[in-house]
Structure 1
Amino acid sequence: MKKIGITLITALVGGAVAIGGYKLFESKQAEQMSFEEKQNVYYASNPLPEMLSSTGNPDFTEAAAAVSPGVVHIRVTMTSRGNQRGGQGSPFDMFEEFFGMPQQRRQSRPQQAMASGSGVMISNDGYIVTNNHVVEDADKIEVKLTNQRTYEAKVIGRDPDFDLALIKINATKLPFVKFGDSDNVRIGEWVLAVGYPLSLQSTVTAGIVSAKGRQIGILGEQQQSPYGYRQQQEEPIARTAVESFIQTDAVINKGNSGGALVNARGELIGINAAIASPTGVYAGYGFAIPVNLVKKIVDDFKEFGTVQRGYVGVSFREVDEQIREKYNIDDVQGLFVLDVVEDGAAASSGIKKGDIITKVEGKTVISSSDLQERVARLSPGDKVKVTYKRDGKEKDVTLTLKGLEAKAKEEAAGSNKSATEIFNKLGASFKPASAAQKKQYDISSGVVVTQVHREGIFGYFGVERGLIVTHVNGKPVNNVDQVESALGDTKRNIVRITGVSENGTVEFNFPIEY
């Protein structure tokens, strides 16, 4: 009997170890998945209910019930630094209006200000996608759920060229919104906008998709090419805004920014980003960033801390009457190549000045957004099929996209004492150091600085990208959560950073002012 008892106990212990090992393996596997892959695993076991009424008409009650818990209210505290965006008056110059901060209210002297927007939870462990303009100037970010719980959030990554940001709260088992497929969105189909407009609680409005691939010039100069050159100029540029909005007449107002645009099945098809209005409030035209672009950007933020962009390497202009007359061509659509980047992806494939890009991945190019969004979903080293016309004959080529060194282009500042706020105030993005890097520098811990923002502490003190931070306040760090946790031990308003680089070991003592 004793032997049997011992055998049974051994079996139970062995089973527990096996289950624990499996759970650990499962956790590591999940960490390596993209957000879409993790959602697919979840919804394979938890399918969405059928969202049609018995008459076959869309039933918005089911979609609203499925989505609303996963859309959050974002409240930020910021330091207003005066009007930095230039003049006003354009019906599309409405980030401040849409976000709840009219330009004319900005003061010349720094002062604390409050604003709010929306965000969409995309995983059950606290990752939230929102607009860059919602959090770009934030000193403190608070997220309030529909169950009235409030959390501080940290910025994982953000990019003004896409007007997207990924933030994270420290919580688990959260509701989130299922990704849809924005490529399958049809003009005229029913959609819902979910968010927190005009300081109201969670609000759902309905409308239809009015148009796709809209460019409204809100993210940057309309004369910018999305592939490394200014149109009709020859100097390379690093800031390259991407616009290919889904247009909708669902009611969107100030505070909806960063909220969800979903189809009648409750699937996320876009992140609400802007409205076109002469008054700053709803006038019938709202714009959302397609979710198929969002998926790529948030995965980059999570893995690298910044967007990994691939470039075609051409300067172009949409074919119009002026182009047809100037270059004596008969084509009525496509992108006329004004110039190519030497040794760029296009030049390497044989595309030359004067060619007309007519298709991308077999899809006819009507406007620049057709090429812009498709390429923006890809990374350096990815391949894309492009069709171009020369001397009246079309030719297919496969381009291998090349990277463009990104410049430090973000701002960060802070003025409060929590670990999350200090993290945001550092003005940097991080990713875990690889095993090879740890072996190279003979270190057991480390995160790599992937981005340094001009007005953050790292930028002010000259900390460069590529530094491997091994310890924060004396604690070893291997990921962004550990960095934030270690910042909670900041003593006498001094953050101590230890790191290594090719120049050897470095130590910094950063004063945090309040």
Structure 2
Amino acid sequence: MKFRHIFSALIVGVTLTAPISAVAALPSSVDGKPLPSLAPMLEKVTPAVVNISVAGTHTQRQRIPEIFRHFGAPSESVRERPFKGLGSGVIIDADKGYVITNHHVINNADEITVTLTDGRSFDAKKIGSDEGTDVALLQIEADDLTAIKLGNSDDLRVGDFAVAIGNPFGLGQTVTSGIIGALARSSLNIENYENFIQTDAAINSGNSGGALVNLNGRLIGINTAIYGPNGGNVGIGFAIPINMANNIIDQLLEHGKVQRGVLGITGRDLNSEVAKAMDLDVQKGAFVNQVFADTAAADAGIEAGDVITEINGKPVNSFGQLRAQIGTMGAGSKVKLGLLRDGSKKTVTVTLGGSDEQTASAQDIDKRLLGAKLETTKEYKGGIAIVELEPGSPAARVGLKKDDVIIGINKQRVKTISDLQDILDDAKGTIALNLVRDGTQIYLFMR
């Protein structure tokens, strides 16, 4: 009775026109033609999707109020708690054993084990990881691996079929299907750089790092997050576009870290209100509020009031999408941007700067510092000066003030914008900013 109740729940809304026994005996072909099936494609693709299990220790630090620090008590308590976790990954190079997954799957892990569909398990080495985009690259030493072929996520359209493969709830490899429901999703506050593919192919806990493929079996995305009040699938899942993830992987392999491209602007999403106020004929794009001097944008001739509508010939729907795509391209990359200025279309070629330059907008570094313009300084033997600050911005709400100089983060010395980027990319939880203000050192804490 219990099984029958479960089965009934699974087929609610389906009208059966024949007994169950007849359904089970449906033919494999009609008029000599095989029934449509994803099985042939999946037989080639699923060996490239792996299960990942991790183990490690979380270190929790808690400041002890000064009133309790008598008799030599420490200023903070430190607790270490072991953890285990499960996720998924995708083999992208069989010869070198490269496996792509999410940063959050392997973050803080001391042990990473990759299990193949044939049952073999291998210890994995972390090649590199980027918290800002939630992309990580692992490597295993194994023979007879199957790698997946990469697709082109820039060619995706809403309505294209998609198949998600992963390890939900640790049940083992599972395949679900659906369509692409939306593209270039941003402003979700899931990651720092967001340009997600949205799909209704069921994605659940444990699918993170798994494959989103098209009907040709080409990898188009890395499953990353779900939208649901209770953490379960409600038909809205998000994947990192493979082109974006591949940009990160290339940088990790070449430099050992991500060297983000920097445009040197501040801006906002273009909406109907902004379009009306500025008398614009477009409703979507990235509106440029400000262009900083001596940056890639300034050198290319981009001006405040421009609307960026295309990047490398592809539409730009929002400032968040533009920021994600620029931030995942390497410093020195050349990018063609389509602009709308005073009703006329223009195309400019930009050579992206890097975050180790002397000047950068904080939005290119970390969303918690939005509203601040940063500049390296030789004062205090090197640091990051806050040369401009927008009132009411996230950076201002943290407690930063104009002319503050950041000299350390979490007890690590900071001298350049590149130092700042590297530390913030890896930082978790509460972050301690060590500042010099009016010649006096102070600490600010932000989450």
TM-score by length of 1: 0.58
Greater strand percent: which structure?
A: 2
Distance across 1 between alignment mates of 2:139 and 2:47:
16
- 8 Å contact kept, 1:162–1:219: no
**Matches of 2:267 and 2:33, distance apart in 1:** 49
Match of 2:432 in 1: none
2:260 counterpart residue number = 309
Confirm or deny: 8 A CA contact 2:166 2:206 kept in the other structure.
yes
- Written as runs of structure 1 = structure 2, the 5 A alignment for 1:422-461 is none
Tell me whether 180-189 or 66-75 shows the greater mean CA deviation: 180-189
Are 2:90 and 1:120 equivalent residues in the alignment? yes
Cross-structure match for 1:61 = 39
**1:72 correspondence with 2:47:** no
Paired with 2:309 and 2:53, the residues of 1 have a C-alpha distance of: 44
User: Per-residue CA shift, 1:349-405, capped at 9, x if unaligned?
Assistant: 221222222222233322235534543453222221122232222222111111112
Q: Quick check: 1:404 aligned with 2:375?
A: no
For residue 448 of structure 1, what is the aligned residue in structure 2?
Answer: none
Who is 1:274 aligned against? 225
Query: What SS class does the counterpart of residue 265 from structure 1 fall into?
Result: coil
Query: 1:142·1:152 contact (CA, 8 Å) conserved in 2?
Result: yes
Partner Cα separation in structure 1 for residue 110 and residue 309 of structure 2 = 46
1:147 aligns to what SS in structure 2? Answer: coil
Amino acid across the alignment from 1:188 = G
1:198 aligned residue? 169
1:179 maps to 2:150: yes
One-letter code aligned to 1:63: M
- Out of 190, 197, 202, the residue aligned to residue 251 of structure 1 is 202
SS across alignment from 1:80: strand
Question: Could you say what secondary structure the match of 2:149 adopts?
Answer: coil
Aligned-pair CA distance for 1:308: 2.6
Cross-structure match for 2:286: 335
CA distance in structure 2 between the partners assigned to 1:57 and 1:293 by the alignment: 36
Task: Evaluate the alpha carbon distance shift between residue 174 and residue 267 of structure 1 in structure 2; reply closer, same or farther with a 3 A threshold.
Answer: same
Give me the whole-angstrom Cα distance separating, in 1, the residues matched to 2:61 and 2:163.
Answer: 33
Pick closer, same or farther for the CA change 1:299–1:347 going to 2, 3 Å: same
Where does residue 235 of structure 2 map in the other structure?
Answer: 284
Measure, in 2, the Cα distance between the counterparts of 1:57 and 1:292: 33
How far apart, CA to CA, are the structure 2 residues paired with 1:395 and 1:299?
30
Q: Which of 109, 112, 117 is the equivalent residue of 1:141?
A: 112
Distance in 2 separating the partners of 1:56 and 1:391: 58
Q: Which has the higher contact order (CA 8 A, sep 6+)?
A: 1
What residue number does 2:130 align with? 159
Quick one: which of 196, 208, 213 aligns to 2:179? Answer: 208
Give the aligned partner of residue 470 of structure 1.
none
Contact 1:127 1:167 in 2 (8 A): yes
1:75 is displaced (CA, Å) by 0.7
- Measured in 2, the distance between the counterparts of 1:148 and 1:172 equals 13
Q: How does 1:347-362 map to 2 (within 5 A)?
A: 347-362=298-313
**TM-score normalised to the size of structure 2?**
0.66
Partner amino acid, structure 1, of 2:42: A
Task: Name the amino acid aligned to 1:80.
Answer: H
Distance in 1, Cα, partners of 2:134 & 2:128:
11
Could you tell me which runs of 5 or more consecutive residues in structure 2 were left unpaired when the two chains were aligned: 1-29, 63-77, 367-408, 419-447
Match of 2:244, SS? helix
| Secondary structure of 1:122 counterpart | strand
Question: What is the SS of the residue equivalent to 1:352?
Answer: coil
**Residue 460 and residue 148 in structure 1: after superposition, are their counterparts in 2 closer, same or farther (change >3 A)?**
farther
Equivalent residue in structure 1 for 2:103, among 114, 127, 132: 132
Kindly state the Cα deviation for residue 344 of structure 1 after the two structures are TM-superposed: 0.9
1:365 paired with 2:335, answer no
Cα deviation 1:259-305 (Å, max 9, x = unaligned): 00111111111100000001101111111111111222112212211
The CA deviation at 1:110 is: 2.5
RMSD: 3.1
CA deviation vs aligned residue, 1:64-85 (integer Å, no higher than 9, x gap): 211111111111112234599x
Contact 2:268 2:318 (8 Å CA) reproduced:
no
Q: 1:323 — aligned with what?
A: 274
| Cα offsets for 1:216-261 (capped at 9, x unmatched) | 52334xxxxxxxxxxxxxxxxxxxx221111111111110000001
Q: How far apart are the structure 1 equivalents of 2:268 and 2:198?
A: 23
Within 5 Å, give how 1:33-112 maps onto structure 2. Answer: 59-81=37-59, 109-112=79-82
1:234 aligned partner: none
What is the identity, as a one-letter code, of the residue corresponding to 1:162? T
